[in-house]
A and B are shown apart, each in its own frame.
Chain A
Amino acid sequence: MPSSLARSLRTLFRIKRTEREMEREMSFHLEMETEKNMRRGMSREEARLAALRSFGGVERVKDECRDVKRNRPLETLWQDARFGARMLRRNPGFTLLAVLTLSLGIGANTAIFSVVYGVLLRPLPYQQGGRLVVLRQQAPLARNNNLYFSVKEIDDYRAQNRALADLAEHHSMAFTLFGGPEPERIQAAVVSANFFELMGVMPLLGRTFAPSDEAHGAEAVLILSHQYWRRSHKGDPNIVGRVFRMNDRPHTVVGVLPPLPQYPNENDVYMPTSACPTRSSERFIANRNARMMSVFARLKAGVSEEQALADLSTIAGRMKEAYPDAYPANLGFSLRLASLHKELTERAQPTFLVLLCAAGLVLLLACANTANLTLARLMRRERELAVRSALGATRGRLMRQLLTESALLALAGGALGALLAAWSIRLLVRFAARFTPRADEISLDNTALLFTLVVSVATGLVFGLLPALSLRRNLVPSLKEGSGQSAVSAGRQRLRSALVVAQVAVSFVLLIGAGLMLRSLLKLQEVGPGFDPERVLVMRVTANWSKYTTGQQYRDLSLRLIERAQALPGVLSAAMASTYPLNPFGLANGPNNVNFQIEGRPPNPNEPTPQVDYRVASADYFRTIRLPLLSGRLFTEADDAQAPWVAIINQTLARHRWGDEDPLNKRISFDQGRNWVTIVGVVGDVRQYGLNQEPTDELYRPVRQTSGAGNLLVRTAVAPAVMAPQLRQVVYSVDPENAIDQMQTLVSVRHESIASPRLTTVLLGLFAALALLVTAAGIAGVMALTVSQRTHEIGIRMALGASASGALRLVLRQGLTLVLIGLALGVAGAFALTRLMSTLLFAVEPTDPLTWLAVAAALAAVAALACFVPARRATLIDPLTSLRSE
């Protein structure tokens, strides 16, 4: 308000001053004229009247003056715009092509910018999100970079710290929710009551937790996450107050959250610590080594991350001294602190920035193309411009006219581009979700639209300035006939050639980027996963947590599921396992590392404890996924709870711990030697954590001797999707309170595991293809103009005896020279830039010679074709006709 008031006041003041000055100036004029008339002999009155008459209507003059002062800048702009629009309408071909090219370039940039802004730049949707940090305890010597926290440790940090305003705990567990049509497995985040207050989150519906919710014995309450509320309850506005049954307790819904990025994992509901059976047990609370929770904290005002880390590390040091059993030296126990923003965005940064660069290059190409087209048009409009110049238009005025036309084109391209971006945003959000939890914050909002506007105007200036500056100061000589060979045309032709060279160079860089990604993707797909995923269906089965309390019960459940599944016709083999290869849960959380010791090798406190990725699998697991047995035997029915404990290891573990020695019949222990497990078989390696990750040390224990196998795998004779409903029935028939989720085929699991690089490749490929198209069009355009301009010259040559192919060679040579220069520049540019994308590549160097050669050849071929087609027209020149028309 105040600023617009000030502006209005200033304008008013200016107007009043102008009025006063006008009045004074006119009265001066009239007085002088009056005096002149009086000197001629008229009386004062007659002189005055005569002066007024020869002046003309004073008010009318004042009005005209006011018009001049008021409308001047805007009036010409509006005139220019109207004129420009008319000119563009008269050339629909050019206008359409230009607008389309620009819209693709601007649209791509807007879309990628929305992603970059929404994820990397926008502040977190928490109050003062920049002060939020994530704490992490680590044992780097034990190769464990996330130890989590125990209740006692959190209490110590909370009580002794001086750098934090507050801290809150968070851990996630899976429970089964009853009350819907099917038992539903939900992921619940168990948090301290101050969690939402710490983050500064206001609920969408209802309320957040109060300290009373955390009290021992308090009624169990739930807060729903936004995604879960929309997905499973259709955004029911009356959800607050509904009661669900979970863990044999009623839980009342007290609130719904607004959309938020969920870290460290997606959770469906939130509950206070008192509602989690594990967390609220006395034994768990008292055990310093029972570590399960993550910790979020808010820095005090004015405290930096380094200061906070130093403060908290002091506390960690005190703990190490006070409780040496809980912190043995071979852990290398330490604390790490990172801003929440960094944790949410780190993984996405390299890919998104590469895509932004690519989009920027595509826009540059679009600008170069449009500049080229505009220059070509300018050559045809020279006559019109010359006439206007002769009749009084200044060079500045003409330049402004041309720039306005360019701005109109660019704005139209920008509007269309914004539409294209809006259409593609949903796909990009799904793509971004693989890299960051903040994907839901991406939208085509006001910032993105402002960006579009700025980019459009800048684009218009960039591609408009070049032709506008090429206007000579004196256009009148072009009025003469036959001025096509003037020096200006030659200069313009050089400019167009330079643009083509630039286009070729930029296209090369983009093509190299896309080519490298493609090669990397192909290498990734070639990686042998170590198992056969064909026709295997997997699903996660979650039992009702509170009903199954002993290991024996879980074992029996697993065995019954296998038995019933195996009995189905069409099922070749069925198995249960704690995980399966490329399991998305595993990809997110990493190995289930468990300490062990090898018989005959006593533990050495100065070395890191041996660890292994501990799995549970039923006997038929290996057969079901066709994991080859390399030596020894697989599990049998004889390996049950009464028999000696056995295990199967993978080849990596065998080589790592036993080298060339045969590991069969060697023994290891997981409980400091109280019980020993014999190794009975060695199987092949699988790529468990990604096709681009090396296999880890893996060990399998039979389901019959332990428990905890939550995934059902089934190899079918027919397409797995056909068997899916029957398998669901089987699972419910064993126990109707079982919850099933993550049902998919192993083939699609494998496909999903390389989704990120695949999508990145697709996007870069799209940009590169676009670039190639635009560049080819640019080359063809310049070549066509060359041919038409040199028609006369070629006609003479042919009349003097040159052959048609000779004419072709002449024209081709000119075009191909440009292409070669462009390629050379492109090579230099690509060399510099592709080093930046090495983090995205798998098993491929940025300077991979095969890719570079292939891309250079492809670009040269396309460019040559783009030269050839118009150049061929040179051969069709009839010397007689060309000589006559001049």
Chain B
Amino acid sequence: MAKTKSDLLQGTLDMLILKTLALETMHGWGISQRIQQISSGVLNVNQGSLYPALYRLEEQGWITSEWGSSENNRQAKYYRLTRAGRKQLDEETANWQRLSAAIEQVLQAG
């Protein structure tokens, strides 16, 4: 139940992370870069706030992690979307679209 702006933002961030991971498996830094790219810099959150979100999503079972070696042979923690996470993403997307369509109708009507 979203009550504050930060809660709403948290929900959005979650969706963005899930969306990013739906396209490919990546590590935390890669996700932050992609989000900056996709949102064209509008969502300028602190990069660090990504990690609590990642940890939370992992607790909920929507993403899973494992250590691997990165492009430049360093040890990095890679995140992957689970099947439950994919389902969640689809549901959230559908809900979001319906809600925003309804709001738009309200705003447009006279």
Contacts and interface: CB of A to CB of B under 8 A. Distances in A.
Interface centre among A22, A26, A57, A61, by most chain B C-beta atoms within 10 angstroms, is A61
Interface stretch (A133-141, A310-318, A387-395): A387-395
Given A68-B56, A69-B59, A389-B95, A24 B47 contact: no
Contact of B77 (A25, A31, A65): A25
Contacts of B27: 25, 28
B76 A28 contact: yes
B2 A391 contact: yes
Contact of A29 (B29, B52, B67): B29
Nearest to B98: A476
Contact of A60 (B48, B76, B99): B48
B75 interface: yes
B76 A61 contact: no
A72 B59 CA distance: 8
A556 interface: no
Given A29-B29, A392-B11, A56 B2 contact: no
Contacts of A389: 95
Contacts of B55: 65, 68-69
Contact of A56 (B47, B74, B75, B77): B47
Given A28-B70, A65-B55, A69-B59, A394 B99 contact: no
Interface residues of A, number: 31
Nearest to B88: A394
A248 interface: no
B49 interface: yes
Given A21-B77, A25-B77, A28-B70, A61 B49 contact: yes
Nearest to A57: B48
Given A68-B52, A391-B1, A54 B98 contact: no
Contact of B52 (A28, A57, A64): A64
Contact of B48 (A24, A32, A58, A391): A58
A56 B28 contact: no
Contact of B51 (A25, A72, A392, A476): A25
B48 A68 contact: no
A13 B52 CA distance: 21
Contacts of A24: 75, 77
A25 B11 contact: no
A356 B47 CA distance: 62
B39 interface: no
Contact of B29 (A28, A57, A388, A391): A28
B52 A54 contact: no
A58 B48 CA distance: 7
A394 B57 CA distance: 13
Interface string A9-49: 00000000000011011101101110000000000000000
A33 B47 contact: yes
A267 B45 CA distance: 84
A263 interface: no
Interface centre among B28, B46, B48, by most chain A C-beta atoms within 10 angstroms, is B48
Secondary structure of the B contact surface, majority rule? helix
Nearest to A67: B52
A349 B29 CA distance: 70
A390 B2 CA distance: 10
Contacts of B91: 394
Interface in B59-89: 59, 67, 70, 74-77, 88
A55 interface: yes
Contacts of A64: 49, 51-52
Given A389-B95, A392-B11, A54 B46 contact: yes
Contacts of A69: 55, 59
Name the residue in A32, A69, A390 with the highest tally of chain B Cβ atoms < 10 Å from its Cβ.
Answer: A32
A883 B55 CA distance: 55
Interface residues of B, number: 28
B46 A390 contact: no
Nearest to B95: A390
Contacts of B75: 24, 28
Nearest to A59: B48
* Best-surrounded residue of B1, B32, B59, B67 (most CB of chain A within 10 A): B1
Given A29-B28, A65-B55, A55 B48 contact: yes
Contacts of A67: 52
Given A31-B74, A56-B46, A72-B56, A65 B51 contact: yes
B37 to A, nearest CB: 13
B52 A55 contact: no
Contacts of B70: 28
Nearest to A62: B51
Contacts of A392: 1-2, 11, 92, 95
Nearest to A391: B2
A24 B70 CA distance: 13
A262 to B, nearest CB: 60
A393 B88 CA distance: 11
Contacts of A33: 29, 47
B47 A29 contact: yes
Contacts of B48: 26, 55-58, 60-61
B9 to A, nearest CB: 12
B59 A388 contact: no
Contacts of A31: 74
B51 A61 contact: yes
Interface in B6-41: 11, 27-29, 32
Given A56-B46, A390-B99, A32 B51 contact: no
B45 to A, nearest CB: 9
Nearest to B12: A392
Given A25-B77, A28-B29, A392-B92, A68 B49 contact: no
Contacts of B98: 390, 476
Nearest to A475: B95
A393 B2 CA distance: 9
Interface string A68-79: 110010000000
Contacts of B32: 29
A390 B103 CA distance: 12
Nearest to A389: B95
Nearest to A51: B47
B29 A393 contact: no
B76 A25 contact: yes
A65 B65 CA distance: 15
A685 B36 CA distance: 104
Contacts of A21: 67, 77
A54 B47 contact: yes
Contacts of B11: 391-392
B18 to A, nearest CB: 12
Contacts of B47: 29, 33, 54-56
B105 to A, nearest CB: 13
A27 to B, nearest CB: 9
A28 B74 contact: yes
A59 B52 CA distance: 12
A394 B15 CA distance: 13
A392 B95 CA distance: 8
A56 B44 CA distance: 12
A61 B52 CA distance: 7
Given A25-B76, A28-B27, A29-B28, A388 B49 contact: no
Contacts of A54: 46-47
B52 A65 contact: yes
27 contacts: A24-B75, A24-B77, A25-B76, A28-B29, A28-B76, A29-B29, A29-B47, A31-B74, A32-B29, A33-B47, A55-B46, A55-B47, A56-B49, A58-B48, A60-B48, A65-B51, A65-B55, A67-B52, A68-B56, A389-B95, A390-B98, A391-B11, A392-B1, A392-B2, A392-B92, A392-B95, A394-B88
Interface of B: 1-2, 11, 27-29, 32, 46-49, 51-52, 55-56, 59, 67, 70, 74-77, 88, 91-92, 95, 98-99
Given A56-B49, A392-B92, A476-B99, 11 more contacts: A21-B77, A25-B28, A25-B51, A25-B77, A26-B51, A28-B29, A61-B48, A64-B51, A68-B52, A72-B56, A392-B1
Counting from the closest, the 6 A-B pairs by CB-CB distance are: A56-B46, A61-B48, A56-B48, A64-B52, A68-B55, A32-B29
